[in-house]
Every structure is written in C-alpha cells, then in structure tokens.
Structure 1
Amino acid sequence: MYRFAKAAVNVTGQAVRQVRHGSTAPQTFHSKYGTTVLLGGAVFCSSVWGYVLTQTGITWNLSPVGKVMPKEWRGAEE
C-alpha cells in the first residue's frame, strides 16, 4: 500500500507541474486550424448521413398512420 500511495502522490505532483507550466503545444493551434477542422467535420458528417439516407435502402418506418389497418373483431360465438 505504501508503494501505491507514493506512486499516486508522484503522479499528482507531475500533473500539477504540467498544469502550472502549460503544455508544450503552441497556443495558436485553435486560431490557425479550429475553423477548418470544424468545417471539415461538418462536411464529413453531412456526407456520411447523406449517403446513409439516400443510398443504403434502409426502410425507416417513420409513421404507421394510414398504413396500419385494424383487424375486424370476431363475431360472438353462437
């Protein structure tokens, strides 16, 4: 248990140091590529859903109104 506690404290200490000093990645990444990545993801998502909706032939069963007819009741047994 002592080794586990010592390792846990060491890991949290490293995390605190990393947060305090910041990441090594440049801070301008989002300003340079953020809009491009967002638009690329939107185009990809739209194209995949467009393909799924138009080309796969899935029957979606949207609404049964007007398509399902109730069965006639059985007559009273005589």
Structure 2
Amino acid sequence: MYRLAKSAVNVTGQAVRQVRNGSTYRQDFHSKYGNGLMIGGAVFATSVWSYVLTQTGITWNLSPVGKVMPKEWREAEE
C-alpha cells in the first residue's frame, strides 16, 4: 500500500508542477489549427459512417413491429 500511495503522490506532484510551470504546447495552437482539425474530424467521421451504413452490408436491428407474424397456436391433441 505504501508504494501505491507514494506513486499517487508523485503523479499528483508532477501534475501540480506542470500546471504551475505551464505545459509545452504553443499558446496559439488552437487559434491556428482548431477549426481545421474540427472540420477535418467531422469530414472523416461522416465519410467513415457513410461507408459503414452503405457498403458493409450490416443488418441493423430495426424495429420488427409489423414485420414479424406470430405463429399459429397448435391445437391440443385430444
């Protein structure tokens, strides 16, 4: 238990030092690349899902209401 507590305190200390001193990413990254990354991600996700929905042949579990007919009951043999 001592090792776990010691490593937890160490990780917390590292996080505090990083927040205090600042991280290494450039401050203008989001203003420079933010919109492009967002649009690129949206285009990628849309293209992947359009491929999955149209080309893979997956049978989706749509509602069976009105499509499934119940079987007739068997009459009890006398």
Q: Distance in 2 between matches of 1:58 and 1:3?
A: 49
Give the gaps of 5 or more residues in structure 1: none
The answer to whether structure 1 residue 37 and structure 2 residue 37 are counterparts is yes
Q: 1:26 to 1:68 in 2, by over 3 A?
A: same
Give the gaps of 5 or more residues in structure 2: none
How much has 1:10 moved relative to structure 2? Answer: 5.8
| Higher RCO by CA contacts (8 Å cutoff, separation 6 or greater) | 2
Q: Please list every run of at least 4 consecutive aligned residues from structure 1 whose deviation after the TM superposition is greater than 4 angstroms.
A: 1-14
1:57 matched to which residue of 2?
A: 57
Q: 1:71 to 1:10 in 2, by over 3 A?
A: closer
Aligned partner of 2:61: which letter? N
Aligned partner of 1:17: which letter? R
1:47 matched to which residue of 2?
A: 47
Larger radius of gyration: 1
How much has 1:11 moved relative to structure 2? Answer: 5.4
How much has 1:74 moved relative to structure 2? Answer: 1.4
What is the aligned length?
78
Render the CA deviation track for 1:19-53: whole Å, top value 9, x for unaligned: 11211221110111011101101100000000000
2:28 matched to which residue of 1?
A: 28
